[in-house]
Structure 1
Amino acid sequence: MERTQSIQKAIDFEKLHSNFFILPNAWDAASAKIFEQCGFKALGTTSAGIAASYGYADRSMPFDTMLDAVRNIVHAVDIPVTVDIEDGYGEKPEDVAEVVKKVIAAGAVGINLEDSTMDPQKPLQDISIQQKKIDAIRELGKRLGIPVFINARTDPYWIKLETPFNKLAETIKRAHAYQEAGADCIFVPGIKTFTDIRTLRQEINGPINVLAAPGLPSAHELEALGIQRISTGSGPYRAVFSFLQSIGQEMLERGIFEPMSTSKITYDDLLRL
Protein backbone atom coordinates (compact mmCIF):
# COMPACT_ATOMS: atom_id res chain seq x y z
CA MET A 1 0.00 0.00 0.00
CA GLU A 2 2.83 2.41 0.89
CA ARG A 3 4.50 1.91 -2.50
CA THR A 4 1.17 2.42 -4.28
CA GLN A 5 0.62 5.65 -2.35
CA SER A 6 4.13 6.86 -3.20
CA ILE A 7 3.59 6.25 -6.90
CA GLN A 8 0.21 8.00 -6.78
CA LYS A 9 1.75 11.02 -5.05
CA ALA A 10 4.41 11.18 -7.74
CA ILE A 11 1.79 11.03 -10.47
CA ASP A 12 -0.29 13.71 -8.76
CA PHE A 13 2.76 15.95 -8.43
CA GLU A 14 3.63 15.62 -12.10
CA LYS A 15 0.03 16.43 -13.07
CA LEU A 16 0.20 19.71 -11.14
CA HIS A 17 2.65 20.93 -13.79
CA SER A 18 -0.05 20.74 -16.45
CA ASN A 19 -1.39 23.98 -14.99
CA PHE A 20 -0.15 26.84 -12.83
CA PHE A 21 0.53 26.38 -9.11
CA ILE A 22 2.49 27.84 -6.22
CA LEU A 23 4.89 25.58 -4.34
CA PRO A 24 5.85 26.77 -0.83
CA ASN A 25 9.10 25.58 0.70
CA ALA A 26 9.09 24.12 4.22
CA TRP A 27 11.98 23.59 6.64
CA ASP A 28 10.43 21.36 9.30
CA ALA A 29 7.32 19.33 10.12
CA ALA A 30 5.38 22.28 11.58
CA SER A 31 5.96 24.61 8.61
CA ALA A 32 5.02 21.77 6.25
CA LYS A 33 1.78 21.14 8.15
CA ILE A 34 0.88 24.83 8.13
CA PHE A 35 1.32 24.97 4.34
CA GLU A 36 -0.82 21.86 3.94
CA GLN A 37 -3.54 23.39 6.11
CA CYS A 38 -3.43 26.53 3.97
CA GLY A 39 -4.54 24.38 1.04
CA PHE A 40 -1.37 23.95 -1.01
CA LYS A 41 -1.41 20.81 -3.15
CA ALA A 42 2.30 20.07 -2.76
CA LEU A 43 5.38 21.54 -1.13
CA GLY A 44 9.13 21.63 -1.47
CA THR A 45 11.93 21.89 1.03
CA THR A 46 14.32 24.81 1.40
CA SER A 47 17.92 23.75 1.83
CA ALA A 48 18.82 27.15 3.28
CA GLY A 49 15.97 27.01 5.79
CA ILE A 50 16.71 23.46 6.89
CA ALA A 51 20.42 24.22 7.18
CA ALA A 52 19.84 27.36 9.26
CA SER A 53 17.39 25.56 11.54
CA TYR A 54 20.16 23.05 12.33
CA GLY A 55 22.82 25.72 12.74
CA TYR A 56 24.54 25.34 9.37
CA ALA A 57 25.17 27.73 6.51
CA ASP A 58 23.44 26.83 3.25
CA ARG A 59 25.27 24.08 1.32
CA SER A 60 27.33 23.06 4.36
CA MET A 61 24.84 20.77 6.10
CA PRO A 62 25.64 17.02 6.17
CA PHE A 63 23.39 14.96 3.93
CA ASP A 64 22.20 12.68 6.75
CA THR A 65 21.03 15.72 8.72
CA MET A 66 19.09 16.97 5.72
CA LEU A 67 17.60 13.52 5.20
CA ASP A 68 16.32 13.43 8.79
CA ALA A 69 14.55 16.74 8.18
CA VAL A 70 13.06 15.41 4.95
CA ARG A 71 11.64 12.36 6.75
CA ASN A 72 10.03 14.59 9.36
CA ILE A 73 8.48 16.80 6.69
CA VAL A 74 7.21 13.93 4.54
CA HIS A 75 5.66 12.14 7.53
CA ALA A 76 3.92 15.32 8.71
CA VAL A 77 1.81 15.80 5.56
CA ASP A 78 -0.28 13.86 3.08
CA ILE A 79 0.61 15.99 0.05
CA PRO A 80 3.58 15.38 -2.29
CA VAL A 81 6.99 16.69 -1.19
CA THR A 82 9.90 17.52 -3.48
CA VAL A 83 13.38 17.97 -2.01
CA ASP A 84 16.11 20.51 -2.65
CA ILE A 85 19.28 18.40 -2.85
CA GLU A 86 21.47 21.37 -3.81
CA ASP A 87 24.15 20.07 -6.23
CA GLY A 88 23.42 16.43 -5.39
CA TYR A 89 26.08 16.20 -2.68
CA GLY A 90 28.75 15.12 -5.15
CA GLU A 91 30.09 15.33 -8.68
CA LYS A 92 29.89 11.65 -9.59
CA PRO A 93 26.52 10.72 -11.16
CA GLU A 94 26.40 7.46 -9.21
CA ASP A 95 26.83 9.34 -5.91
CA VAL A 96 24.05 11.75 -6.81
CA ALA A 97 21.79 8.83 -7.77
CA GLU A 98 22.44 7.25 -4.36
CA VAL A 99 21.44 10.50 -2.65
CA VAL A 100 18.22 10.62 -4.66
CA LYS A 101 17.52 6.96 -3.90
CA LYS A 102 17.58 7.75 -0.16
CA VAL A 103 15.42 10.84 -0.62
CA ILE A 104 12.81 8.86 -2.54
CA ALA A 105 12.96 6.08 0.08
CA ALA A 106 12.15 8.77 2.65
CA GLY A 107 8.90 9.44 0.79
CA ALA A 108 9.71 12.36 -1.50
CA VAL A 109 8.42 12.49 -5.09
CA GLY A 110 11.08 14.62 -6.74
CA ILE A 111 14.19 16.74 -6.39
CA ASN A 112 15.77 20.09 -7.26
CA LEU A 113 19.27 19.78 -8.69
CA GLU A 114 21.26 22.99 -9.13
CA ASP A 115 24.19 23.70 -11.45
CA SER A 116 26.00 26.41 -9.48
CA THR A 117 29.16 25.55 -7.55
CA MET A 118 31.01 26.89 -4.53
CA ASP A 119 34.06 27.68 -6.69
CA PRO A 120 34.29 31.44 -7.46
CA GLN A 121 36.56 30.66 -10.41
CA LYS A 122 33.99 28.28 -11.89
CA PRO A 123 30.58 29.25 -10.54
CA LEU A 124 28.60 27.09 -13.00
CA GLN A 125 29.01 23.34 -13.35
CA ASP A 126 29.96 21.95 -16.76
CA ILE A 127 26.84 21.20 -18.74
CA SER A 128 28.02 17.68 -19.56
CA ILE A 129 28.52 16.81 -15.87
CA GLN A 130 25.07 18.12 -15.03
CA GLN A 131 23.55 16.11 -17.87
CA LYS A 132 25.16 12.94 -16.53
CA LYS A 133 23.71 13.61 -13.08
CA ILE A 134 20.23 14.11 -14.52
CA ASP A 135 20.53 10.98 -16.65
CA ALA A 136 21.61 8.96 -13.59
CA ILE A 137 18.57 10.17 -11.66
CA ARG A 138 16.28 9.33 -14.57
CA GLU A 139 17.72 5.82 -14.80
CA LEU A 140 17.33 5.39 -11.05
CA GLY A 141 13.62 6.15 -11.33
CA LYS A 142 13.26 3.49 -14.01
CA ARG A 143 15.03 0.91 -11.83
CA LEU A 144 12.89 1.76 -8.82
CA GLY A 145 9.70 1.76 -10.85
CA ILE A 146 8.73 5.08 -9.24
CA PRO A 147 8.56 8.40 -11.15
CA VAL A 148 11.19 10.85 -9.88
CA PHE A 149 10.34 14.42 -10.85
CA ILE A 150 13.55 16.23 -11.79
CA ASN A 151 13.48 20.00 -11.41
CA ALA A 152 16.72 21.11 -13.05
CA ARG A 153 17.81 24.41 -11.56
CA THR A 154 20.12 26.58 -13.64
CA ASP A 155 21.78 29.59 -12.04
CA PRO A 156 23.10 32.11 -14.61
CA TYR A 157 20.83 34.76 -13.05
CA TRP A 158 21.93 33.75 -9.56
CA ILE A 159 25.69 33.93 -9.85
CA LYS A 160 27.86 37.03 -9.81
CA LEU A 161 30.70 37.47 -12.29
CA GLU A 162 32.99 40.43 -12.86
CA THR A 163 32.77 39.85 -16.61
CA PRO A 164 29.25 40.48 -17.97
CA PHE A 165 27.65 37.64 -19.90
CA ASN A 166 24.31 36.96 -21.55
CA LYS A 167 22.39 35.35 -18.69
CA LEU A 168 19.29 34.63 -20.75
CA ALA A 169 21.19 32.93 -23.58
CA GLU A 170 23.18 30.82 -21.12
CA THR A 171 19.99 29.86 -19.30
CA ILE A 172 18.28 28.76 -22.49
CA LYS A 173 21.32 26.74 -23.61
CA ARG A 174 21.48 24.93 -20.30
CA ALA A 175 17.73 24.39 -20.17
CA HIS A 176 17.76 22.65 -23.54
CA ALA A 177 20.69 20.45 -22.48
CA TYR A 178 19.03 19.46 -19.22
CA GLN A 179 15.78 18.64 -20.94
CA GLU A 180 17.66 16.42 -23.39
CA ALA A 181 19.14 14.57 -20.41
CA GLY A 182 15.68 13.95 -18.94
CA ALA A 183 14.74 16.94 -16.76
CA ASP A 184 10.99 17.34 -16.22
CA CYS A 185 11.02 21.05 -15.33
CA ILE A 186 13.47 23.94 -15.63
CA PHE A 187 13.98 26.13 -12.56
CA VAL A 188 15.47 29.60 -13.10
CA PRO A 189 15.90 31.48 -9.81
CA GLY A 190 16.77 35.15 -10.15
CA ILE A 191 14.97 35.81 -13.43
CA LYS A 192 12.58 38.71 -12.88
CA THR A 193 11.83 40.86 -15.89
CA PHE A 194 8.68 40.26 -17.88
CA THR A 195 10.57 40.31 -21.19
CA ASP A 196 13.18 37.75 -20.11
CA ILE A 197 10.53 35.42 -18.69
CA ARG A 198 8.46 35.75 -21.87
CA THR A 199 11.49 34.91 -24.03
CA LEU A 200 12.33 31.98 -21.78
CA ARG A 201 8.77 30.68 -22.19
CA GLN A 202 8.98 31.04 -25.95
CA GLU A 203 12.29 29.18 -26.19
CA ILE A 204 11.63 26.28 -23.81
CA ASN A 205 9.10 23.50 -24.15
CA GLY A 206 7.84 21.98 -20.93
CA PRO A 207 7.25 23.28 -17.42
CA ILE A 208 9.15 26.28 -16.08
CA ASN A 209 9.66 27.13 -12.40
CA VAL A 210 10.55 30.64 -11.19
CA LEU A 211 11.37 31.90 -7.71
CA ALA A 212 9.15 34.34 -5.82
CA ALA A 213 11.11 37.53 -5.22
CA PRO A 214 10.67 41.32 -5.14
CA GLY A 215 10.23 42.66 -8.65
CA LEU A 216 8.85 39.44 -10.08
CA PRO A 217 5.65 39.80 -12.15
CA SER A 218 2.48 38.86 -10.29
CA ALA A 219 1.24 35.29 -10.12
CA HIS A 220 -1.59 36.19 -12.52
CA GLU A 221 0.87 37.62 -15.05
CA LEU A 222 3.13 34.59 -14.81
CA GLU A 223 0.21 32.23 -15.23
CA ALA A 224 -0.86 34.18 -18.33
CA LEU A 225 2.69 33.87 -19.68
CA GLY A 226 2.50 30.10 -19.35
CA ILE A 227 4.72 29.61 -16.32
CA GLN A 228 3.73 26.46 -14.46
CA ARG A 229 5.31 26.82 -11.04
CA ILE A 230 6.37 29.50 -8.56
CA SER A 231 8.38 28.35 -5.57
CA THR A 232 9.22 30.42 -2.51
CA GLY A 233 12.71 29.21 -1.56
CA SER A 234 13.85 30.39 1.85
CA GLY A 235 11.48 33.40 1.72
CA PRO A 236 8.92 32.07 4.24
CA TYR A 237 11.70 30.98 6.61
CA ARG A 238 13.31 34.41 6.47
CA ALA A 239 9.92 36.07 6.94
CA VAL A 240 9.23 34.02 10.09
CA PHE A 241 12.59 34.95 11.56
CA SER A 242 12.15 38.58 10.60
CA PHE A 243 8.96 38.53 12.66
CA LEU A 244 10.78 36.78 15.50
CA GLN A 245 13.44 39.48 15.43
CA SER A 246 10.84 42.24 15.47
CA ILE A 247 8.91 40.85 18.47
CA GLY A 248 12.18 40.35 20.33
CA GLN A 249 13.08 43.99 19.76
CA GLU A 250 9.58 45.09 20.83
CA MET A 251 9.92 43.16 24.09
CA LEU A 252 13.37 44.52 24.93
CA GLU A 253 13.02 48.10 23.71
CA ARG A 254 9.38 48.86 24.51
CA GLY A 255 8.25 46.13 26.88
CA ILE A 256 5.44 45.24 24.47
CA PHE A 257 4.18 41.65 24.14
CA GLU A 258 1.06 42.11 22.02
CA PRO A 259 2.57 41.11 18.64
CA MET A 260 3.52 37.77 20.17
CA SER A 261 0.46 37.19 22.36
CA THR A 262 -2.10 38.11 19.69
CA SER A 263 -0.81 35.62 17.11
CA LYS A 264 -3.47 33.69 15.22
CA ILE A 265 -2.06 30.29 16.14
CA THR A 266 -2.92 29.47 19.73
CA TYR A 267 -1.22 26.99 22.01
CA ASP A 268 -4.02 24.49 21.36
CA ASP A 269 -3.61 25.02 17.61
CA LEU A 270 0.07 24.22 17.97
CA LEU A 271 -0.69 20.98 19.78
CA ARG A 272 -3.12 19.97 17.03
CA LEU A 273 -0.44 20.39 14.34
Structure 2
Amino acid sequence: MNNEKQLLKFQTFQQLHKRPYTFVLPNAWDVISAKIFEKNGFPAIATTSAGIAMSLGYNDGEKIPFEQMLGAVKRIINSVNIPVSVDLESGYGRSTNEVVDNTRQIILAGGIGINLEDGTGDLDSPILDVSLQVEKISEIRLLSKSLKAPLFINARTDLYWLNTGDPDLRLQEAINRGKAYQKAGADCIFIPGLYDMESIKKVRQELSCPINLLSGPNLPSINTLSQVGIERISTGSAPFRATATLLQRITEDILYDNNFQRLMNDNMSYDAITELIGTPE
Protein backbone atom coordinates (compact mmCIF):
# COMPACT_ATOMS: atom_id res chain seq x y z
CA MET A 1 0.00 0.00 0.00
CA ASN A 2 1.41 3.37 -1.05
CA ASN A 3 -0.16 5.82 1.40
CA GLU A 4 0.75 8.96 -0.53
CA LYS A 5 -0.50 7.65 -3.86
CA GLN A 6 -3.63 6.26 -2.23
CA LEU A 7 -4.37 9.59 -0.56
CA LEU A 8 -4.11 11.45 -3.86
CA LYS A 9 -6.43 8.96 -5.54
CA PHE A 10 -8.90 9.21 -2.68
CA GLN A 11 -8.89 13.01 -2.90
CA THR A 12 -9.48 12.85 -6.64
CA PHE A 13 -12.37 10.46 -6.12
CA GLN A 14 -13.84 12.52 -3.31
CA GLN A 15 -13.72 15.69 -5.42
CA LEU A 16 -15.76 14.01 -8.16
CA HIS A 17 -18.67 14.02 -5.70
CA LYS A 18 -18.35 17.79 -5.22
CA ARG A 19 -18.76 18.79 -8.84
CA PRO A 20 -21.81 20.87 -9.79
CA TYR A 21 -23.03 18.13 -12.12
CA THR A 22 -23.62 14.38 -12.04
CA PHE A 23 -20.68 12.17 -12.93
CA VAL A 24 -20.83 8.63 -14.27
CA LEU A 25 -18.77 5.91 -12.60
CA PRO A 26 -18.30 2.91 -14.94
CA ASN A 27 -17.93 -0.57 -13.48
CA ALA A 28 -15.09 -2.76 -14.76
CA TRP A 29 -14.78 -6.52 -14.44
CA ASP A 30 -11.27 -7.16 -15.74
CA VAL A 31 -8.10 -5.41 -16.84
CA ILE A 32 -9.17 -4.72 -20.42
CA SER A 33 -12.49 -3.15 -19.42
CA ALA A 34 -10.72 -1.03 -16.79
CA LYS A 35 -8.11 0.15 -19.27
CA ILE A 36 -10.70 1.00 -21.91
CA PHE A 37 -12.62 3.12 -19.41
CA GLU A 38 -9.41 4.86 -18.33
CA LYS A 39 -8.08 5.46 -21.85
CA ASN A 40 -11.32 7.09 -22.96
CA GLY A 41 -11.32 9.63 -20.16
CA PHE A 42 -13.20 8.35 -17.15
CA PRO A 43 -11.51 9.89 -14.09
CA ALA A 44 -12.30 6.90 -11.86
CA ILE A 45 -13.80 3.43 -12.07
CA ALA A 46 -15.52 0.95 -9.81
CA THR A 47 -15.71 -2.82 -10.05
CA THR A 48 -18.83 -4.86 -10.72
CA SER A 49 -19.21 -7.88 -8.46
CA ALA A 50 -21.56 -9.49 -10.98
CA GLY A 51 -19.20 -8.96 -13.89
CA ILE A 52 -16.17 -10.30 -12.03
CA ALA A 53 -18.03 -13.30 -10.64
CA MET A 54 -19.72 -14.26 -13.91
CA SER A 55 -16.54 -13.84 -15.94
CA LEU A 56 -14.94 -16.38 -13.60
CA GLY A 57 -17.84 -18.84 -13.71
CA TYR A 58 -19.86 -17.86 -10.65
CA ASN A 59 -23.22 -16.18 -10.20
CA ASP A 60 -23.54 -12.86 -8.40
CA GLY A 61 -24.37 -12.64 -4.71
CA GLU A 62 -21.03 -13.59 -3.09
CA LYS A 63 -21.01 -17.01 -4.77
CA ILE A 64 -17.40 -16.44 -5.79
CA PRO A 65 -14.78 -17.09 -3.08
CA PHE A 66 -13.48 -13.81 -1.70
CA GLU A 67 -9.89 -14.72 -2.59
CA GLN A 68 -10.82 -14.97 -6.27
CA MET A 69 -12.73 -11.70 -6.15
CA LEU A 70 -9.76 -10.05 -4.44
CA GLY A 71 -7.38 -11.39 -7.06
CA ALA A 72 -9.44 -9.87 -9.86
CA VAL A 73 -9.71 -6.58 -7.96
CA LYS A 74 -5.94 -6.42 -7.46
CA ARG A 75 -5.31 -6.93 -11.16
CA ILE A 76 -7.74 -4.13 -12.00
CA ILE A 77 -6.25 -1.72 -9.44
CA ASN A 78 -2.70 -2.43 -10.60
CA SER A 79 -3.60 -1.96 -14.27
CA VAL A 80 -4.78 1.67 -14.09
CA ASN A 81 -3.61 4.98 -12.67
CA ILE A 82 -7.06 6.29 -11.74
CA PRO A 83 -8.97 5.67 -8.48
CA VAL A 84 -10.75 2.33 -8.11
CA SER A 85 -13.72 1.73 -5.81
CA VAL A 86 -14.54 -1.90 -5.07
CA ASP A 87 -17.95 -3.55 -5.04
CA LEU A 88 -17.77 -5.51 -1.79
CA GLU A 89 -21.43 -6.59 -1.91
CA SER A 90 -22.40 -7.21 1.75
CA GLY A 91 -18.80 -7.80 2.79
CA TYR A 92 -18.13 -11.47 2.02
CA GLY A 93 -18.35 -12.41 5.68
CA ARG A 94 -20.82 -13.72 8.23
CA SER A 95 -19.58 -11.44 11.00
CA THR A 96 -18.62 -7.79 11.19
CA ASN A 97 -15.04 -8.84 11.97
CA GLU A 98 -14.85 -10.84 8.73
CA VAL A 99 -16.21 -7.91 6.74
CA VAL A 100 -13.69 -5.56 8.35
CA ASP A 101 -10.83 -7.96 7.60
CA ASN A 102 -11.92 -8.23 3.96
CA THR A 103 -12.10 -4.45 3.74
CA ARG A 104 -8.58 -4.27 5.14
CA GLN A 105 -7.39 -6.42 2.26
CA ILE A 106 -9.11 -4.12 -0.23
CA ILE A 107 -7.39 -1.09 1.30
CA LEU A 108 -3.99 -2.80 1.33
CA ALA A 109 -4.53 -3.72 -2.33
CA GLY A 110 -4.94 -0.03 -3.19
CA GLY A 111 -8.71 0.37 -3.25
CA ILE A 112 -9.81 3.86 -2.24
CA GLY A 113 -13.51 3.11 -1.88
CA ILE A 114 -16.06 0.37 -1.38
CA ASN A 115 -19.71 -0.34 -2.00
CA LEU A 116 -21.32 -2.03 0.98
CA GLU A 117 -24.92 -3.20 0.62
CA ASP A 118 -27.58 -4.13 3.17
CA GLY A 119 -29.10 -6.90 1.05
CA THR A 120 -28.60 -10.31 2.63
CA GLY A 121 -29.42 -12.81 -0.11
CA ASP A 122 -31.90 -14.42 2.31
CA LEU A 123 -35.42 -14.57 0.85
CA ASP A 124 -36.97 -14.69 4.33
CA SER A 125 -35.03 -11.68 5.56
CA PRO A 126 -33.73 -9.84 2.49
CA ILE A 127 -32.54 -6.65 4.21
CA LEU A 128 -30.08 -6.61 7.09
CA ASP A 129 -31.24 -5.02 10.32
CA VAL A 130 -30.20 -1.38 10.22
CA SER A 131 -28.27 -1.62 13.50
CA LEU A 132 -26.11 -4.43 12.13
CA GLN A 133 -25.35 -2.51 8.94
CA VAL A 134 -24.51 0.57 10.99
CA GLU A 135 -22.10 -1.57 13.01
CA LYS A 136 -20.34 -2.71 9.84
CA ILE A 137 -19.98 0.83 8.53
CA SER A 138 -18.77 2.16 11.89
CA GLU A 139 -16.13 -0.55 12.23
CA ILE A 140 -14.93 -0.04 8.66
CA ARG A 141 -14.58 3.67 9.33
CA LEU A 142 -12.50 2.90 12.43
CA LEU A 143 -10.37 0.54 10.36
CA SER A 144 -9.71 3.24 7.78
CA LYS A 145 -8.60 5.64 10.50
CA SER A 146 -6.37 3.05 12.17
CA LEU A 147 -4.61 2.33 8.88
CA LYS A 148 -4.32 6.06 8.13
CA ALA A 149 -5.77 5.19 4.75
CA PRO A 150 -8.84 7.19 3.67
CA LEU A 151 -11.70 5.10 2.33
CA PHE A 152 -14.79 6.36 0.50
CA ILE A 153 -17.70 4.30 1.82
CA ASN A 154 -20.65 4.07 -0.55
CA ALA A 155 -23.44 2.59 1.58
CA ARG A 156 -26.04 0.86 -0.53
CA THR A 157 -29.59 0.11 0.53
CA ASP A 158 -31.36 -2.57 -1.49
CA LEU A 159 -34.95 -1.70 -0.57
CA TYR A 160 -35.81 -0.59 -4.11
CA TRP A 161 -33.53 -3.03 -5.89
CA LEU A 162 -35.18 -5.99 -4.16
CA ASN A 163 -38.62 -4.38 -4.25
CA THR A 164 -39.09 -5.38 -0.64
CA GLY A 165 -41.21 -4.11 2.22
CA ASP A 166 -44.32 -1.93 2.16
CA PRO A 167 -44.20 0.21 -1.02
CA ASP A 168 -45.87 3.09 0.83
CA LEU A 169 -43.11 3.08 3.45
CA ARG A 170 -40.15 2.21 1.23
CA LEU A 171 -39.07 5.75 0.43
CA GLN A 172 -39.04 6.87 4.05
CA GLU A 173 -37.25 3.69 5.10
CA ALA A 174 -34.58 4.31 2.45
CA ILE A 175 -34.15 7.86 3.72
CA ASN A 176 -33.95 6.70 7.34
CA ARG A 177 -31.34 4.11 6.45
CA GLY A 178 -29.40 6.67 4.45
CA LYS A 179 -29.26 9.01 7.43
CA ALA A 180 -28.21 6.19 9.76
CA TYR A 181 -25.50 5.02 7.38
CA GLN A 182 -24.18 8.54 6.92
CA LYS A 183 -24.05 9.07 10.68
CA ALA A 184 -22.13 5.79 11.02
CA GLY A 185 -19.46 7.01 8.61
CA ALA A 186 -20.71 6.54 5.05
CA ASP A 187 -19.64 9.16 2.51
CA CYS A 188 -22.35 8.48 -0.06
CA ILE A 189 -25.72 6.70 -0.17
CA PHE A 190 -26.47 4.34 -3.06
CA ILE A 191 -30.11 3.49 -3.84
CA PRO A 192 -30.23 1.23 -6.92
CA GLY A 193 -33.69 0.79 -8.38
CA LEU A 194 -34.84 4.30 -7.44
CA TYR A 195 -36.06 5.87 -10.69
CA ASP A 196 -39.13 7.95 -9.84
CA MET A 197 -38.25 11.63 -10.14
CA GLU A 198 -40.37 12.83 -7.25
CA SER A 199 -38.85 10.20 -4.96
CA ILE A 200 -35.36 11.15 -6.12
CA LYS A 201 -36.09 14.79 -5.29
CA LYS A 202 -37.34 13.80 -1.85
CA VAL A 203 -34.19 11.79 -1.13
CA ARG A 204 -32.08 14.73 -2.28
CA GLN A 205 -33.94 17.06 0.08
CA GLU A 206 -33.56 14.71 3.04
CA LEU A 207 -29.94 13.56 2.72
CA SER A 208 -27.02 15.93 3.11
CA CYS A 209 -24.38 13.58 1.69
CA PRO A 210 -23.76 12.62 -1.96
CA ILE A 211 -26.29 10.30 -3.60
CA ASN A 212 -25.52 7.48 -6.03
CA LEU A 213 -28.10 6.02 -8.43
CA LEU A 214 -27.86 3.09 -10.84
CA SER A 215 -28.16 3.51 -14.59
CA GLY A 216 -31.21 1.94 -16.17
CA PRO A 217 -33.82 2.47 -18.89
CA ASN A 218 -36.14 4.26 -16.47
CA LEU A 219 -33.55 6.53 -14.88
CA PRO A 220 -34.00 10.25 -15.66
CA SER A 221 -31.34 11.81 -17.89
CA ILE A 222 -27.95 12.88 -16.59
CA ASN A 223 -28.85 16.52 -17.22
CA THR A 224 -32.07 16.19 -15.24
CA LEU A 225 -30.29 14.50 -12.35
CA SER A 226 -27.60 17.19 -12.41
CA GLN A 227 -30.27 19.86 -12.02
CA VAL A 228 -31.68 18.04 -9.00
CA GLY A 229 -28.23 17.69 -7.42
CA ILE A 230 -27.52 13.97 -7.76
CA GLU A 231 -23.77 13.46 -7.60
CA ARG A 232 -23.14 10.05 -9.11
CA ILE A 233 -24.52 7.38 -11.44
CA SER A 234 -23.02 3.88 -11.54
CA THR A 235 -23.32 1.66 -14.59
CA GLY A 236 -23.34 -1.54 -12.52
CA SER A 237 -23.09 -4.76 -14.51
CA ALA A 238 -24.63 -3.21 -17.64
CA PRO A 239 -21.33 -2.84 -19.58
CA PHE A 240 -20.46 -6.48 -18.83
CA ARG A 241 -23.92 -7.61 -19.93
CA ALA A 242 -23.74 -5.45 -23.05
CA THR A 243 -20.45 -7.12 -23.94
CA ALA A 244 -21.95 -10.57 -23.38
CA THR A 245 -24.95 -9.57 -25.51
CA LEU A 246 -22.69 -8.55 -28.39
CA LEU A 247 -20.89 -11.90 -28.19
CA GLN A 248 -24.25 -13.67 -28.22
CA ARG A 249 -25.26 -11.82 -31.40
CA ILE A 250 -21.92 -12.53 -33.07
CA THR A 251 -22.36 -16.20 -32.22
CA GLU A 252 -25.85 -16.27 -33.74
CA ASP A 253 -24.62 -14.49 -36.88
CA ILE A 254 -21.90 -17.10 -37.43
CA LEU A 255 -23.94 -20.18 -36.55
CA TYR A 256 -27.23 -19.31 -38.20
CA ASP A 257 -26.37 -16.81 -40.95
CA ASN A 258 -22.81 -17.80 -41.90
CA ASN A 259 -22.00 -14.13 -41.44
CA PHE A 260 -18.82 -12.58 -39.99
CA GLN A 261 -19.84 -8.96 -40.56
CA ARG A 262 -20.69 -8.09 -36.96
CA LEU A 263 -17.55 -9.91 -35.76
CA MET A 264 -15.31 -7.85 -38.04
CA ASN A 265 -17.17 -4.54 -37.94
CA ASP A 266 -15.09 -1.66 -36.48
CA ASN A 267 -12.96 -3.97 -34.34
CA MET A 268 -10.02 -2.72 -32.32
CA SER A 269 -6.92 -4.13 -33.99
CA TYR A 270 -4.66 -6.69 -32.37
CA ASP A 271 -1.94 -4.03 -32.12
CA ALA A 272 -4.32 -1.56 -30.48
CA ILE A 273 -5.33 -4.09 -27.83
CA THR A 274 -1.68 -5.00 -27.24
CA GLU A 275 -0.77 -1.33 -26.83
CA LEU A 276 -3.69 -0.80 -24.45
CA ILE A 277 -2.56 -3.64 -22.19
CA GLY A 278 1.00 -2.32 -22.23
CA THR A 279 4.07 -3.86 -20.64
CA PRO A 280 3.72 -5.09 -17.04
CA GLU A 281 5.82 -3.08 -14.61
Do the structures match in fold with TM over 0.5? yes
Preserved contact between residue 155 and residue 181 of structure 2 (Cα < 8 Å): yes
Preserved contact between residue 2 and residue 110 of structure 2 (Cα < 8 Å): no
| Residues 1:63 and 1:165: Cα distance change in structure 2 (over 3 Å) | farther
Superposed displacement of residue 160, structure 1: 3.6
Preserved contact between residue 91 and residue 129 of structure 1 (Cα < 8 Å): no
Residue by residue, what CA displacement relative to the aligned partner does 1:177-207 show, whole Å, maximum 9, x if unpaired?
1011010000000000111111110111010
1:66 to 2:55 alignment: no
Q: Which residue of 1 aligns with 2:279?
A: none
Residue by residue, what CA displacement relative to the aligned partner does 1:71-120 show, whole Å, maximum 9, x if unpaired?
11001110000000000112422211111110111111010000011111
Determine the C-alpha separation between the residues in 2 that align with 1:215 and 1:93: 35
1:179-194 correspondence to structure 2 within 5 Å: 179-194=182-197
Q: Which residue of 1 aligns with 2:36?
A: 34
Superposed displacement of residue 162, structure 1: 7.8
Determine the C-alpha separation between the residues in 1 that align with 2:29 and 2:261: 26
Q: Which residue of 2 aligns with 1:209?
A: 212
The one-letter amino acid paired with 1:192 is Y
1:257 to 2:260 alignment: yes
Q: Alignment partner for residue 46 of structure 1, among 39, 45, 48?
A: 48
The one-letter amino acid paired with 2:45 is L
The one-letter amino acid paired with 2:31 is A
Q: Which residue of 2 aligns with 1:137?
A: 140
The one-letter amino acid paired with 2:117 is E
Greater alpha carbon shift after TM alignment, 5-14 vs 201-210:
5-14
Determine the C-alpha separation between the residues in 2 that align with 1:134 and 1:149: 11
Determine the C-alpha separation between the residues in 1 that align with 2:267 and 2:210: 36
Preserved contact between residue 187 and residue 210 of structure 2 (Cα < 8 Å): yes
Residue by residue, what CA displacement relative to the aligned partner does 1:143-169 show, whole Å, maximum 9, x if unpaired?
111111100000110114486452211
Q: Which residue of 1 aligns with 2:16?
A: 16
DSSP-derived class of the 1:130 partner? helix
Preserved contact between residue 93 and residue 132 of structure 1 (Cα < 8 Å): yes
1:124 to 2:127 alignment: yes
The one-letter amino acid paired with 2:231 is Q
Superposed displacement of residue 10, structure 1: 1.0
The one-letter amino acid paired with 1:118 is G
DSSP-derived class of the 2:189 partner? strand
Preserved contact between residue 159 and residue 165 of structure 2 (Cα < 8 Å): no
The percentage of aligned residue pairs carrying the same residue is: 48
The one-letter amino acid paired with 2:64 is M
* TM-score (norm. length: structure 2): 0.94
DSSP-derived class of the 2:85 partner? strand
DSSP-derived class of the 2:81 partner? coil
DSSP-derived class of the 1:95 partner? helix
Higher relative contact order (CA 8 A, sep 6+): 2
1:57 to 2:59 alignment: yes
Determine the C-alpha separation between the residues in 2 that align with 1:47 and 1:165: 30
Query: What CA RMSD, in Å, does the superposition of the two structures yield over aligned residues?
Result: 1.3
1:76-225 correspondence to structure 2 within 5 Å: 76-161=79-164, 164-225=167-228
| Residues 1:8 and 1:170: Cα distance change in structure 2 (over 3 Å) | same
* TM-score (norm. length: structure 1): 0.97
The answer for unaligned runs of 5 or more in structure 2 is: 277-281
Q: Alignment partner for residue 251 of structure 2, among 240, 248, 253?
A: 248
The answer for unaligned runs of 5 or more in structure 1 is: none
